[in-house]
Amino acid sequence: MDFGLALRTPRNDGNSGLCPLPNSAACVSCRAYKHTNHEETPMPAFPASTTVLDSILFRDAFGTPQMRGVFSDVALVSRYAEVEVALAKAEAKCGVIPQDAADQIAARTNVAALDFDLLRQETDIVGYPILPLVHQMVKQCGEAGRYVHWGATTQDIMDTAVVLQLRAALEIVERDIAVLRKILAGLSKRYRDTPMAGRTHLQQALPVTFGYKTAIWLAMFDRHAERLAQLKPRLLVGQFAGAAGTLASLGDKGFEVQEALCAELKLGVPASTWHVARDGFAEAVNFLALVTGSLGKIALDIMIMASTEFAEVYEPFVKGRGASSTMPQKRNPISSELMLAASKAVRQHAGLMLDAMVQDFERATGPWHAEWIAIPESFVLTAGALHQAKFALAGLIVDERKMNDNLAVSRGLIVAEAVMMGLAPQIGRQEAHDVVYDACRLANEKGMSLADALTADPRISSRIDRATIEALTSPKNYLGLAPAMVDRVLKSATR
């Protein structure tokens, strides 16, 4: 992308082309480009984005083009216009405005022809974009323009437009979750019987299988798919209620127009006005927090398992990805790191959305505005995290040999419980616990295998032969129902 030196960064005082900082020593651009006259030298052109969501450097690490498109300014204004046009059509059907006026509004409304700079300036003055948009739509629609926005209030249009955005955004999330579930199901089947060390408190606990681990991940996303299906009917409802939510301006036509508008947009009809009842939007972002929270858990597991001391899994190899500028041997788990970061950011926005539910009387003050920050960012971050997860898990490199080596590192101590339970029927559980505890201590002190330590104790060797001891201390023989649990997860939902 060539931004060209003809573009200039505007000063804070409105004079474009001059560096805004008061002295060249503080200006990175002046130092980098050896400006000699700080106040008069035009700055080279750079993109003006200030967040990772729009940055040319980071935007595809933390988001996706498709989700950014859903929440772009042009898309949002297009949704506003879509709702205004749908309102005109609905009101014409209900006899509130002339049919010809509605036809003209639909035919002549042209988002591409809007003056977005003027829209920005007037929005900055008014505080909301709808009145500035209506000004331009009225001009576009000529005589029919008098019927634009008939009986509506700003929040009706903005809320309904956001619902339309959320419907499109959730379709993306739903598809990504479906793909991720398929990937996790494949991993679970493939590694159903692959033994590895199960860990609690970061210590080896009991043997599990890698398929068991991925089946746990899969079950989370099965539940997320169920949550999403349940969420949509509550969330995807229109908003049209007028100034204080009573539809007073439309008289006895209020409900009829409301229903016709929702039908036009293929949205549900609200039972009551939700200008200040924001549980639907809060639920949507908190749903995303659950999704990214699960992705963060997966990411943390992968990152630890990819550490040098574990070396059990790796993200897909792409030349240069995860490289260090100073350590050529490094292969950092970049996708997992991005997933974890996104989960933390969305979690913060989930809290913001809960805070924004506390709104005053019939129309809110600042809490409503907080949604404008939290909703788009949460969806873009979630899309980015899901994208990274699909990449990392679809090509996940699993080192079964290393898993087996790590399983053996405790020299059989990881299945001390199996020995204890094997002895319990003969000598009682408590005595079995005590003698196995002593054997474990001996194995640790002498660097012995658990099997050798058990054989050295006559209280055990007199009751259990060496072959049985070997069988009891083999981690592969103590997987419990891990493989069966994989089967149960795979059968529990439609794939």
Catalogue the active-site residues. 201, 324
The strand ranges marked E within 70-123 are: none
**353 is written with which tokens?**
């959305």
Helix (H, G, I), strand (E, B) or coil at 331: coil
Vertex 199 angle, CA 312 and 305, to 5°: 25
Distance CA 490, CA 495 (A): 8
Location of structure tokens 């009917």:
233
CA pseudo-torsion sign 135, 139, 141, 146:
positive
Contacts of 222 (CB under 8 A, 6+ apart): 181, 489, 492, 493
Greatest Cα-to-Cα distance within the chain, rounded to the nearest angstrom: 103
| Tokens, residue 492 | 């529990």
Q: Which tokens in the block code for residue 11?
A: 């000063």
Sign (positive/negative) of CA torsion 12, 16, 19, 23?
negative
Q: Give how far Cα 176 sits from Cα of 154, 225, 336, Å.
A: 33, 10, 17
